[in-house]
């Protein structure tokens, strides 16, 4: 399978936070967007990934997150929904500590 198909398969199987199928689907798309950003950049900070996904989907009525007042824009979405899921996606190496750099290590199946 192509990496995108594997990512979509994992996202379908993971229970994404949210009420209702439409909300969960929008959030899956936002997480997939973060995965694509990481793949394209090969490495990115948590803030860069969270803000990229947030900026892409914040205006969607079913997204359900607003910009954080006390942290970077996408913090609430990232902390409550996206971080745990992105760690499970193919090619992703999560940082040992929160807030550090994420890496894309390849599309190969493990």
- pLDDT digits 0-9 by tens, 11-29: 999 988 888 899 999 999 9
Distance CA 79, CA 48 (A): 13
The pLDDT of residue 110:
45
Which residue is associated with the tokens 């594997």? 6
56-59 long-range contacts, CB within 8 A, separation 24+: 56/30, 57/26, 57/27, 57/29, 57/30, 57/33
Query: What stretches in the chain show pLDDT beneath 70?
Result: 1, 107-110
Distance CA 73, CA 69 (A): 8
Which residues lie across from 45 on neighbouring strands? 101
């Amino acid at each position: 399978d192509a990496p995108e198909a594997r990512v979509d398969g994992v996202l379908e199987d993971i229970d994404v936070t949210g009420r209702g199928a439409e909300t969960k689907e929008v959030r899956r798309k936002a997480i997939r967007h973060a995965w694509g950003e990481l793949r394209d950049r090969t490495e990115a900070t948590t803030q860069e990934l969270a803000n990229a996904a947030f900026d892409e989907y914040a205006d969607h009525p079913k997204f359900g997150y607003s910009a954080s007042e006390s942290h970077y824009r996408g913090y609430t979405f990232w902390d409550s929904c996206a971080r745990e899921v992105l760690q499970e996606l193919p090619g992703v190496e999560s940082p040992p500590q929160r807030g550090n750099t994420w890496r894309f290590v390849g599309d190969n199946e493990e």
